[in-house]
Amino acid sequence: MKKIGLIGGLTPESTAHYYLAICREHNAKAGGLNFPEISLESVNLQQLIGLFGANEWEKVAEHLLRVLHRLKASGADFAAILANTPHNAYDRIRDASPLKILTIMEATSAPLLRDGRRKVALLGTKATMEYGFFQKHFESLGISSLIPTDDQRQALDRMVWDELAHGVIEEKSRTAAKHMIAELERQGAEAVILACTELSMLIKPEDTPLPLYDTMILHAEAILAYAQQTD
Please, what are the domains in the chain? 4-103+218-228 (3.40.50.1860), 105-215 (3.40.50.1860)
Question: What are 216-228's pLDDT values in tens digits?
Answer: 999 999 999 999 9
Question: What are 2-37's pLDDT values in tens digits?
Answer: 999 999 999 898 899 999 999 999 999 999 999 999
Average pLDDT over residues 129-141: 92
CB 196 within 8 A of CB 124: yes
Q: What percent of the chain has pLDDT over 90?
A: 92
Q: How far out from the chain centre does Cα 108 lie?
A: 9
In this prediction, residue 139 carries a pLDDT of: 95
Question: What are 170-203's pLDDT values in tens digits?
Answer: 999 999 999 999 999 999 999 999 999 889 999 9
- The 3-state DSSP class for residue 155 equals helix
In this prediction, residue 107 carries a pLDDT of: 97
Amino acid of residue 194: L
Q: Give this prediction's pTM.
A: 0.92
Is the torsion defined by CA of 68, 74, 79, 83 positive or negative?
negative
In this prediction, residue 122 carries a pLDDT of: 97
Question: What are 65-97's pLDDT values in tens digits?
Answer: 999 999 999 999 999 999 999 999 999 999 999
User: Pairing relation of β-strands 119-123 and 78-81?
Assistant: unpaired
CB 22 within 8 A of CB 224: yes
- Given pLDDT bands bounded at 50, 70 and 90, which one contains residue 147? very high
